[in-house]
Amino acid sequence: MKIAIAGSAGRMGRTLVEAVLKDGEMRLAAALEQADSPFLGKDAGELAGSPCGVAIRADAEQALAGADCLIDFTRPAGTLAHLAACRRLGVAMVIGTTGLEAEQKRQIEAAAREIPVVFAPNMAVGVNLVFKLLDTAARVLSQGYDIEVIEAHHRHKVDAPSGTALRMGEVVAAALGRDLSSCAVYGREGVTGERDAATIGFATVRGGDIVGDHTVLFAGTGERIEITHKAASRMPYALGALRAARFLRGRASGLFDMQDVLGLR
């Protein structure tokens, strides 16, 4: 399977390139970066620790012409530009980009009517298992427990809360029959009054090189239940993305997430 990587010179991009080069069934077909990137023309594999002869390019249309699937963990604007190119060329797409707004998500939905897309805020297999566990926990602990989502990431992350934290909140809210947009509390300061039992709280930490820690706390009377996932490297996200790419092989169109990929529906 021929894979293209967007943002190939970034932290996540380099990990994706490394994962593809180590995979016996996949081949790196193209490596993309922004037009002003200082890494244009450099060997994408060399940046990831293993030269492969694939030069980093900025022209998505040309690069994607020989690819089966593009994996994109970049920024919303870049992802949508790549989505348009994939749509024109009939290339499948795995999207791990976070921070997209409602209208941008609708554009992904529209494109998925013509090409196959896996779109998920977190590609790690363990995180997606946690989503399933959270659904069960929220249903069992629906009465008498306050729910808080705590997440921590490196200093370079630009969106908050993380897409994974928001998805955790969505899973819990859905299990409880609530709408996250109306019950979420994003931070507290000053005299806030007593906690509203119907809310789901979010706390965000940014610092150092933390790859990604997520905890959902169910706090009851006399006990606390915590469901936690901690990533020690970006490789779990990359391996999950490759699994998603394999899932799309042979599909003509459709919008999927990692729950579909892992058979957790």
Q: Which of the residues are catalytic?
A: 153, 157
DSSP classification of residue 47: H
Nearest CA to 99 among 72, 135, 124? 72
Order across the sheet with 56-57: list the strands.
56-57, 27-32, 2-5, 69-72, 92-95, 116-119, 254-256
- Tell me how far apart the alpha carbons of residues 4 and 225 are, in angstroms, rounded to a whole number: 41
By the 8 A CB rule, do 227 and 173 touch?
A: no
Q: Residue 173 — φ and ψ, nearest 5°?
A: -60, -45
Assigned token pair, 200: 């789901």
**Cis omega (within 30 of 0) for bond into 38:** no
- Tell me how far apart the alpha carbons of residues 16 and 24 are, in angstroms, rounded to a whole number: 14
Assigned token pair, 188: 């507290």
Assigned token pair, 51: 């030269």
Nearest CA to 22 among 216, 185, 238, 234? 238
Assigned token pair, 48: 């990831």
Task: Write out the H or E segment, with its range, that includes residue 218.
Answer: strand 212-219
Assigned token pair, 135: 């659904």
